[in-house]
Structure 1
């Protein structure tokens, strides 16, 4: 087997292997040649070539999201690295492990006008768990014109001893930094950056490994929730008759079922779940906006909880955030091992544990349920909302709202659903989903920039089919995602094309003006037809309800190529249908 001759590249690659980082996403370049040679020649690694670094970052994120273990990104020096930033920030706020391996020029070539160089050190400082800036041995540093030795060496006395001593010191320092970075990505679930300077020559290979780096194991810190702390929570829990649990994004099957069943029995508890929470129970409230959007001031006071418990990722529903910021609970507890976001400006307990750990410690202490009509009252309203929801669907014309209803009902069981941001995730939150469907969305930063690339990465990591629902602006923005040789034939894209940024039409502000159309809604006449032809996707369209239902009957069937169904909806009607919906269900 061939190895890169560069010892620093050998060190990085061996430590990635020792830490079981198998999936390596490489963007082409020259400075990263030692890494590319090493990873692609070792059968342990599964390597992918993605030209566009922004797409590569989100593709890697999609794989890591599904495997719940780090993937590695490899790029050349210069601006290539900066294109990872959107995916890095998403990984940072969504707790997804990524290891960025960036090639760099030696330090003496930075800032002197040499080509393809930027200041790569700590470039992701505000959105990274750890930055490892590796160092080169000084053997190849430029000569001082007045001396025969490298400028860094001021004396020739004991030259050999000094070189060997400094080299060993640098090797130890580099190995420690690499170990620390990868361990952090694994243990703290987030992105890390390892910046690696390479001196030319870059393409030399060898048949032997010249280094054997030390492997530093992850320190496992076992945390036990303090008994006094649990008793304090128990006392508060049993003192109040209105308790609300709000669940954000979660991996499927993360919360033990007996906990969910126990919470569902308690009439003093309302459990609000978002589409991305992947938590299901018929007694939970799964369409938050459907319930609370039509509420009056008096209703909000009735819904206002005494205790609010939150866990999971960031919350999609803007309406629940507005409600809980205005009608704050007496207590807000957030359960998370790492983060304690004070989303509602009233956080008083950060429970540094998993939901399973906390509720398994709390629930056995409960000898009785607090008498309350909190959940029964709102359950009745929930039923009324669902009846009105169906009545509205029966009378509205073909529109985004109608399309989401048809699509979500047609989704096959046991599939992975990836959602685009903006309108897509918000419409989906208004509908019921089958319990066997796992749902994901890039809600860390809520950007539209990499949704398609993430979905494709997800589809590559999964054997079960991945279905991606997206809007037109998000899809066209990330169209380079299709420049990818790894898209499975069972991957499906449902593209809802309403000829612009439809979400802006439901936000405050003047619409139907030239400035609005150009700078906010960003109207267009683009279609995905030619992109599908170029990237070998099966392509079909639907422009009315009859066509859509006919297409959905065959769209999810097995095929010899991935498929895209483009659904055209009326641009100037969609916003009225949605806004009227909230009035109607009231």
Structure 2
């Protein structure tokens, strides 16, 4: 069954030709021709998500895991604007999200007609391609060109695009056979050329004795073992990672803030200052490494990534627009051997720091930090882990990852707005069971995410509820001002218990270390229904425990 409207047919045929199978639909009348067409064709996997903000992040989670374009489809009016948080996250995380918005014909805009806004180019600041299709059947060939351009851009650039489609009533009529065709043009994906001058200079600069490799967000298994071995066996290379790099190697420093704190206190920054900095992957979470490398910049900074080349430290020399495996395979045979033990000096200090860290953790009271220690010691392997932003992802950087974990976080814009929806979307295309670790503000802000019929039975949430925005107690701010608790920390007494009852989650709760340890033993193996463990922590103690942690490392 096809919609009678030719433009709607053309969009359906275009998505099918481009093998875009996952379609997230939100209810509405103006997008009914598309909804009817997508839902009637078994080629497509369709999902109904009522809240467009949740729908955007749900689709983003699917695309994040598949690394393939996923479409979201909405009706006209303000519905489209609710996609914007997810679109901006997709833009900075390089996730191919395809926004298809139904619109009124242009003649109905700004005349007082209902459910109309300026939809044309509404997302243009955070999309790689915007197109406004024509409702006139005589423009079919031009629409075909625009659809090819939009969908090819999403695939080739791995970025979000926006397709705005005006439909005139009647909207619900159907036919058995399409009246239009679609000719697929896949476009040309040009392999970026590596500049030989910069490659030669990179090889010359390898003679510098102090080289730091900083690895940001990467999907699992992004770096081949051959090149991991190359990096770990070079004594002049110090590798810093975060758990969102999905790379576990004991000779790499994996807790950057824990490592840098004593270096700052002992005034060792100039000794650590690298000659050469090599950035790999996406966003870096650590504020300390950003502050350090801005104050003690490298002589040269190379960024190696297919998409991004951020000048985060204001010292970027060149962006090699390729993946790290391709790059190292091209240059390693030309690199001179270096014997300076830059790495061993700092690994030796790191081992000392970790001893102090472990001693401190053994004696801390029940708090956020104690909870994260328990969580990270109990998560099985293998496991797919999604972590919300703000305090959750920052606490996560204070603990080791395990081989077999896959860790994701919406670090493109670092917002708290869609972490739960992203995790649920990711879970439906993941073979591994999924755990979301989240703070209370992020969870309640995105609670509509649970209004979803597709949540797997093995989906888990651990909610750390410290009754407010705990990160604001950690930040350098005056907590004694009369407005702090109301307008920054946003203190509350909410609990997830009733949400779990409404949405069919098994609900568990804990308020001390003993209860957590007991519950976590069985929590990961409950398979009857999705399960949420809410852990209540002391709001006014958490920041003290964390600050004392860093003071103890010196």
**Shorter-chain TM-score above 0.5:** yes
The alignment partner of 2:249 has SS state of coil
Q: Normalising by structure 1, what TM-score?
A: 0.93
The residue aligned with 1:201 is 170
Runs of 4+ in structure 1 over 4 Å off? none
CA deviations on 1:159-216 (whole Å, 9 max, x unpaired) are xxxxxxxx54x11111111111111111100100000000100000001110111111
Deviation of 1:245 after TM superposition, in Å, equals 0.5
**Structure 1 contact 300–327 (Cα < 8 Å) conserved:** yes
8 Å Cα contact 1:289-1:319 kept in structure 2: yes
Shift of residue 372, structure 1, vs aligned partner: 1.3
CA–CA distance in structure 2, aligned partners of residues 178 and 111 of structure 1: 26
8 Å Cα contact 1:409/1:433 also seen in 2: no
Deviation at 1:311, TM superposition (A): 1.4
Q: How many angstroms does 1:430 deviate by?
A: 0.7
Is the CA contact 1:230–1:361 (under 8 Å) kept in the aligned structure 2?
A: no
| 2:254 equivalent in structure 1 | 286
Q: Tell me the residue number matched to 2:304.
A: 335
Q: Equivalences for 1:313-462 in 2 at 5 Å?
A: 313-368=282-337, 370-462=338-430
- Once the 2 structures are TM-superposed, how far is the Cα of residue 227 of structure 1 from its aligned partner? 4.0
**Residue in structure 2 matched with residue 172 of structure 1 by the alignment:** 141
Separation in 1 of the partners of 2:389 and 2:172?
42
Q: Which residue of 1 aligns with 2:277?
A: 308
- Residue in 1 aligned with 2:109? 110
2:544 aligned with 1:576, yes or no?
A: yes
Unaligned regions of 5+ residues in structure 2, if any?
A: none
Cα offset for 1:24? 0.4
Match of 2:236 among 268, 272, 277: 268
SS in 1 for 2:495: coil
CA distance in structure 1 between the partners assigned to 2:306 and 2:519 by the alignment? 45
* Aligned: 1:483 with 2:455: no
| Deviation (angstroms), 1:363 | 1.2
* Partner-residue secondary structure (3-state), 1:74: strand
Contact 1:23 1:71 in 2 (8 A): yes
Match of 1:534 in 2: 502
Instruction: Report the Cα distance in structure 2 between the residues aligned to 1:478 and 1:279, rounded to whole angstroms.
Output: 29
Which of 519, 525, 532 is the aligned partner of 1:551?
519
Number of aligned residues: 553
Task: Give the Å deviation of 1:367.
Answer: 4.5
Structure 1: tracts of 5 or more residues without a match? 138-166
Q: Deviations over 1:196-241 (max 9, x none)?
A: 0001000000011101111111312133434443222100112x00
Query: Following the alignment from structure 1 to structure 2, what is the Cα–Cα distance between the partners of residues 361 and 298?
Result: 38
Shift of 1:480: 0.2
The answer (yes or no) to whether the contact 2:206–2:335 under 8 Å persists in 1 is no
Equivalence for 2:8: 9
Specify the SS of the correspondent of 2:172: coil
Please give the alpha-carbon distance, in whole angstroms, between the structure 2 residues aligned to 1:273 and 1:517: 35
Please give the TM-score of this superposition, normalised by the length of structure 2: 0.98
Aligned residues of 2:2 and 2:175 also touching (Cα < 8 A): yes
Cα distance between partner residues in 1 of 2:188 and 2:133: 22
Task: Compare 176-185 and 332-341 and name the one that shifted more.
Answer: 332-341
Describe the SS at the equivalent of 1:172: helix
Separation in structure 2 between the aligned mates of residue 547 and residue 339 of structure 1, nearest angstrom: 44
Asked if structure 2 preserves the Cα contact closer than 8 Å seen for 1:4 and 1:35, the reply is yes
| Alpha-carbon displacement from aligned partner over 1:118-173 (angstroms, at most 9, x marks no partner) | 00000011100000110121xxxxxxxxxxxxxxxxxxxxxxxxxxxxx54x1111
Corresponding position of 2:49: 50
Partner of 1:78: 77
SS in 2 for 1:60: helix
1:237 paired residue number = 206
Task: Give the superposed CA RMSD.
Answer: 1.0
